[in-house]
Amino acid sequence: MQDIFKISIHNQDLNYLKKEQLILTIKKIKNNKGRYLSNFTGYQSYDLKIKEFKDLIKCVELEANKYSKELGISKKLTVCNFWLNINKYKDSNVVHNHPDSILSGVYYVNVPEKSGRIVFRNPTISYLGSFWPDKIMSIFNNNNSSLWKIDPKDDLLLIFPSWLEHFVEPSLNVKKDRISIAFNLK
């Protein structure tokens, strides 16, 4: 087989060493007023510009620029904005993409069990169902899937093209919050 089009996602265990400091900063921020953009419910902060995130942003930019080289992007990318997401029981995020940026991503700070997967939508989703109905597939793989689900875990960093639509499934964890930091790069 010859692949003619490809969508890749950068998937990296970050091993971020200053996670305890990060969690203390997050606890302070989550008391501030939030906004509703892609979050159907749950907390989403306004864009953050806090020096406590400087080291995390450096790690994100390093990984993003490794990924951008693989994609053939010739310019160095930097984080242009980032924000905090906290999803409690039944909280989710609707289908969206990230306009006005080149790459986007998420760093998972705290991911309890059953707290919702991130789901990416194949850009050809409207054609797949019409031409290749599920009933004719013996298995689903990256050649024929309309959705691709990733189970997040603590310290996971995902980076993807900003145009790639995605959403977050509802959290089914009654006791613990899922905490992530999302970002865009230009």
Give the dihedral sign, CA 153/156/162/164. negative
The whole-number pLDDT of residue 50 equals 83
CA distance 126 to 27: 41
Neighbours of 165 (CB within 10 A): 14
Rounded CA Rg of the chain: 17
CA distance 57 to 184: 11
Model confidence pLDDT, tens digit, residues 96-144: 999 999 999 999 999 999 999 999 999 999 898 889 988 999 999 988 9
Residue closest to 115 by CA, chosen among 36, 169, 38, 180: 169
Local mean pLDDT, 10-residue blocks, the chain (186 residues) = 91 92 92 90 93 94 98 97 97 97 98 98 91 91 93 98 98 97 98
Q: Are strands 103-110 and 156-161 parallel, antiparallel or unpaired?
A: antiparallel
pTM equals 0.94
CA distance 71 to 8: 9
CA distance 174 to 125: 32
Strand order in the sheet with 156-161: 10-13, 156-161, 103-110, 178-185, 79-87, 43-44
Quote the Cα angle for 176-182-186, to 5°.
Answer: 175
Distances (CA, A) of 81 to 38, 166, 167: 15, 18, 19
The whole-number pLDDT of residue 62 equals 97
Give me the domains of the chain, ranges plus CATH numbers.
10-185 (2.60.120.620)
The whole-number pLDDT of residue 17 equals 85
CB burial class (10 A; 0-12, 13-18, 19+) of residue 96? middle
